[in-house]
Amino acid sequence: MAGTSYILQPIGTKNRVITLDILRGCAVLGILLMSIQRFSMPSYAFLNPLSFENLEGLNLYAWLISHVFANGKFSAMLAMLFGAGILMISQKARKEHMRSSKLQYRRFFVLLLIGILHAYLLWYGDLLVAFSICGFFMFAFRSKSKAYLFKSGVIFLVVGSGLKLLLAYSIPFWEPGQFQLLESKLWDPSAQEITNQISYYRGSWEQQMLIRVPEAFYMQTRIFLSEVFWKVSGLMLLGMAFYKKGALIGKQSKKYLSKMLIYGLGLGLPLVVSGVLLDFHYRWDFELSYFYFSQFNYWGSVLMAIGYCGFIVLLCKISTRSFIARSLSYVGRMSLSNYLMQSIICSYIFYGHGLGLYGDLDRSAQGVVVLALWVFQILFSSIWLSYFQFGPFEWVWRSLSYGRAQPIKK
C-alpha cells in the first residue's frame, strides 16, 4: 500500500510450516537417487541404462528401485512445493498489506543467477534455472481458484506430453540421418564417445567445462522449451492448487490425504511399472522407449508425487515430533543448501578436480554413496540449524532478494 512503512520480512523460524519442511526434506534427499547417476556415469546411461555397464544382479535392482520409486517423482514434489511457496509468500505479503510481486520477481531472478552458476560451473543437470523461469510465469496464476489452478496444471502437463508425441509422429519427415544423429547423442553412443565423456569429467575443471557448458546450454534451451517448461509449470500449478486446498500443510482431512495416497500410488505405480516392462520387452528400442514408453513415467511420476505428498502429510498429522520427522524438517529448511551441497560433494567424488571416480562406481555402489550423503546431510542440517536460522545458501538467497543482509544467527 502506498504511504506505508511496512517492510516485508522473510518467514521466520517460528512461523514456518513444518509439514512443508518435511516434504522438502524428503524431496531433496530423494532427488539424489537420480542425480547421482548423472554425476557418476556418462549421460546416456540415465536415459538408456543398457548403454553403459551391465544391468544385471544388484545393478538391475538398484536401477529398478531408483527408476520406479524416484525418477521424476521427487523432482515433481520439489516443483509442486515451489509453487506452494509462491502462494505462501504472497499470502504473507497480503496479510501485511504489501504487494509481493517485486519481492517474488527478485527471488526468481536471484535463484536464476544461482542456477546458472550451478549449471555451468558444477552440474549441467541443474533444476534451479527451470524453477526460476517457470516461477516468473506461474506467479501470474497466484490469485486463481483451486479448480482453475488444477485444470491449468493438467493442461500444461498435457501440452508437455503432447509435444513429445508430436515430435515422434514427425520422424518420417526428418532429414536423412537426423534420427540416427539424435539416437547417438542421447541413446546409443559409440565406445569412443563414452571414452571421451569419461576422460573429460576425469580431467581438470577447465576440461570439464568443454562438455558441461554445451550440455547445460542444451538442457536450458531445447530441452527446457520442448519438455521441462511445460511439466515444471504444470506441477507448480498443481502445487498451488493443493496448497490452497490445505493438502500440503496438514489442513485437509485424513480421508482426503488417504485418497491422494491411494489414487496417486494406485494409478501411478502401475503406469511406471508398465513402462519398464515395455522397455525391456522391446529391448530399449530408441524410438519406442524415448518417445512413447517414457510417457508412462511422465504421467506416473506426477501421480506418484501426489501420492507421496499425501502419505507424508498423513504421517505428519500423526506426529511431527519424531526423530525422523524432525530430521527431515531440518533438511527441508535447508533444501537449497542441501541441493547445492549434493552437487559440490558429488562433483568432488566423481570429477577430476577431486577423486575422479567418474565411470568407476556401478549403480549398487552409487546407492552406498547416496546413503552416506543422506546421513551426512541430516547430521549437518541439524547441527547447522542449532546455531543459525537459515542454511548458508538460503541466507544468500534471502539477503539478495530482500535487498539487505538478513540476521542469520539464532
Summarised one tens digit per residue, pLDDT across range 326-354 is 999 999 999 999 999 999 999 999 999 99
Q: With pLDDT > 70 as the criterion, what percentage of the chain qualifies?
A: 95
- Does residue 409 lie within any of the structural domains? no
Q: Which of 4-8, 62-66, 316-320 has the lowest mean pLDDT?
A: 4-8
Which residue range is the domain that position 286 belongs to?
Answer: 14-402
- Arithmetic mean of pLDDT, 355-383: 97
CA distance 126 to 342: 11
Instruction: Quote the pTM value.
Output: 0.94
Mean pLDDT of the chain: 93
pLDDT at 286 over 60: yes
CA distance 398 to 212: 28
CA distance 270 to 18: 31
- Arithmetic mean of pLDDT, 159-163: 98
User: Who contacts 343 (Cβ-Cβ below 8 Å, separation ≥6)?
Assistant: 35, 39, 118, 122, 123, 126
pLDDT range class, residue 54, cuts 50, 70, 90: confident
Q: Which three cell numbers stand for residue 332?
A: 527441508
- Arithmetic mean of pLDDT, 403-407: 91
- Does residue 132 lie within any of the structural domains? yes
CA distance 121 to 44: 21
- Does residue 310 lie within any of the structural domains? yes
CA distance 147 to 241: 7
Instruction: For residue 358, give the amino acid letter.
Output: Y
pLDDT in tens, 197-247: 999 999 999 999 999 999 999 999 999 999 999 999 999 999 999 999 999
- Does residue 1 lie within any of the structural domains? no
Q: Which three cell numbers stand for residue 75?
A: 523432482
pLDDT range class, residue 97, cuts 50, 70, 90: low
pLDDT range class, residue 379, cuts 50, 70, 90: very high
User: Who contacts 100 (Cβ-Cβ below 8 Å, separation ≥6)?
Assistant: 8, 89, 90, 92, 93, 94
Residue 373 parent element (H or E): helix 363-384
Q: What is the pLDDT of residue 16?
A: 72
How many structural domains are present in the chain?
1
- Does residue 3 lie within any of the structural domains? no
Residue 147 parent element (H or E): helix 146-169
- Does residue 6 lie within any of the structural domains? no
Is 237 in contact with 138 (CB distance < 8 Å)?
A: yes
- Arithmetic mean of pLDDT, 191-195: 94
- Does residue 408 lie within any of the structural domains? no
- Does residue 89 lie within any of the structural domains? yes
Q: For the beta carbon of residue 394, count every other beta carbon within 10 angstroms.
A: 20
